[in-house]
Structure 1
Amino acid sequence: MIADTPRTPVLLAWSGGKDAAWTLHALRQRDDVEVVALLSSITTEYGRSSMQGVRRDVLHAQAAACGLPLLEAGIPTSCDNAVYEAAMAHALAEASARWPGLHTAAFGDLLLEDVRAWRMAQCARIGWEVMTPLFGSDTAQLAREMVAGGLRATLCCVDTHQLDAGFAGRAFDDALLDALPPGVDPCGENGEFHTCVADGPMFTRPLALERGDTVLRDSRFACTDFALGPAASR
């Protein structure tokens, strides 16, 4: 009898958005890897994910709905690459100590080769490997697959230099994809928008998120706040 080949443990970078969530879904379709935990970079002054601006308690609720622990890498508001890399290296060292044999990190990168190469170089310096299972996807097709596959997300941040502020707070659905102007990536891969996920095939239960105010930050980014509803907060 041939013994089962052990699966490679993976730590998934978790922003709270659709690409990270769909990366988890994709990795769970494979029999050679096992996502053991999620890792979020948190802006310590605000208690939110450093990219999407998703609240810390929402991130932890998402992780719980995925059935996974969430690790945090705290970074300051004014953060250069050196500070970010040091925080991530510390978090990865803690993760590998907690899960022996863990030295592979997965990211939801789709198209940007320079970002992917930077991540790979950053991780290689500390003995980690990188997986980007969605990289090279047709983002128009991928966006439709996410929607058809049951992903439920909302635009929580819009770069008003690339997309009208009125898109902030809208559901990431077929109607939104139909309404995006030419030149805007359907997955927001060029930074046009970020999302906050509330449900999908990677969740065991949907999150009850309540929409808050939309504010303009740095005279550029229209950010819509989402908080856990009373039922989800208990």
Structure 2
Amino acid sequence: MKTLLSWSGGKDSALALRALRRDANIELVGLLTTLSQEHDRISMHGVRSELLDLQSCAAGLSSWRVAIPAPTSDCPICPIEDSDCPVEQDTNCPIDTSGTPYDAAMGAAMKEAVSQGVEAIAFGDIFLEDLRAYREKRLAEVGLKAIFPLWGRDSTELFEEFIAAGFHAITTCVDGSKLDQSWVGRPLDAAFLADYKAQYPDLDPCGENGEFHSFVTNGPVFSRPVDYKLAETVSRDSFWFQDLLPIGAPACSLQYP
């Protein structure tokens, strides 16, 4: 089945990629990423598109990009202004995104995917039922299937699997209403998991509710590490972002179209 993987560049995306590559029924054809059109950065993760280039090249997969004109919020579904979005309270989103710039951009991308023979979109979601239902509904409208290779897994076990498999990643964004600044720019390792569970026993260890976002720099899904250096740490609204600067240029040309 020709499949695109929804790719944020973070931990769950990398675990999903690893799982999909082990599935003989899946033919991966690319990584699908939404970026802020204004800043040319991965939505919510705040990662520069140049680093996405390096990841795509290291993964050996083309980068399918969707530029989102609207401001990006902390809503896991769509970039509608935070003050209007109730998803953080774990309710069904009553907002109709049809007709919004987000809907138009994603709709066009999905139609293009279908025209290229894509049959399914895979996601690294773990347990958010409302988000899964939203994705399945939108994809079904254009004849695409939704795949969730990590669905129902225990978050702690997934984090431990990430470490044991040899992945390396760094947090690039944390929700300041849940975590303090010290958590941004930290490597995702055993110490991170132990500290996180000790200090925040009620929060999800994988950050499934938006507690933190990450950027994967090496691991079994890459042919080479993604080299970077730390830049400034910035505060935007209630979020802390760790800016990363790429080192070197991609050794391939895989961007689509």
TM-score between both structures, scaled by the size of structure 2: 0.84
Q: Secondary structure at the match of 2:131?
A: helix
Query: Contact 1:157/1:195 (CA < 8 Å) preserved in 2?
Result: yes
In the alignment, which of 180, 189, 206 is matched to residue 187 of structure 1? 206
Q: Is the 8 A contact 2:230 2:244 kept in 1?
A: yes
- From 34, 56, 67, give the equivalent of 1:41: 34
Higher RCO (C-alpha 8 Å, min separation 6) = 2
Aligned pair count? 223
Q: Which runs of 5+ in 2 are unaligned?
A: 72-78, 81-96, 252-257
State the SS of the aligned residue for 1:37.
Answer: strand
Q: What is the distance in 2 between the residues matched to 1:156 and 1:76?
A: 22
Deviation at 1:103, TM superposition (A): 2.0
2:12 is aligned to 19
Q: Indicate if the aligned counterparts of 2:70 and 2:102 stay in contact, CA closer than 8 A.
A: no
Q: Is the 8 A contact 1:207 1:232 kept in 2?
A: no
Q: 1:52, CA displacement in angstroms?
A: 1.1
What pairs with 1:142-181 in structure 2 (closer than 5 Å)? Answer: 142-180=158-196, 181=199
1:62 aligns with 2:55: yes
CA deviation after TM superposition for structure 1 residue 48, in Å: 0.5
Structural mapping, 1:75-154, within 5 Å: 75-78=68-71, 79-80=79-80, 81-82=97-98, 83-98=101-116, 100=117, 102-154=118-170
Q: 1:191 Cα shift?
A: 0.6
Give the counterpart letter for 2:161 in structure 1. Answer: E
The alignment's C-alpha RMSD in Å is 1.3
User: Could you tell me which of 202, 217, 225 is aligned with 1:198?
Assistant: 217
1:148-183 C-alpha deviation (Å, 9 max, x unpaired) = 101111000000111121110000000000111211
> For 1:20-52, what per-residue CA distance to the aligned partner results, in whole angstroms no more than 9, with x for missing partners?
111011000111111111111111100001121
**What letter is aligned with 1:70?**
S
